[in-house]
Structure 1
Amino acid sequence: MPLFSSSKHKKEVKVTFANGLLFVERADGKQQAFPLEWFPQLMNATEEERGDWKQTATGIHFNALDVDVAL
């Protein structure tokens, strides 16, 4: 399961993709899973597009795709 992160920003969450799911793990170890069917742009995205994200006050924003996932 690949881990996508950027050295540009310190991130308090880890974002991974596997088996048609988006997994978000918080610093406290809690994990949430979201079906990629909910986010068609993410389901069809390249690894590079999936890796270009930032943490926001309300969740995760995928920059290249302009997709927000609320946590």
Structure 2
Amino acid sequence: MNRLLLSLLFTAIGQASMLAEPYNVLVIQTDEHHFKTLGCYGGRIVETPNIDWIAKHGAIATSFYATTPVCSPSRGAL
């Protein structure tokens, strides 16, 4: 009986979450430069007004982890 109720509960939660509006996710991945190259991280090397606007009005990553020390496999891992 408990399993049946638990299954119904998870089904109801899943259905309710599908009714919610989906989030838009934008991932901008660059490589072969220091993270402070971008203006949103305090860089002054390259002007990036659009990326800075997205960072100011959206979300910005503050912790970075690389799967490998070279760029191609890291891009593939995303």
TM-score (norm 1): 0.26
Q: Which has the higher strand share?
A: 1
Between Structure 1 and Structure 2, whose CA radius of gyration is higher?
2
- Higher-helix-fraction structure: 2
Higher relative contact order (CA 8 A, sep 6+): 1
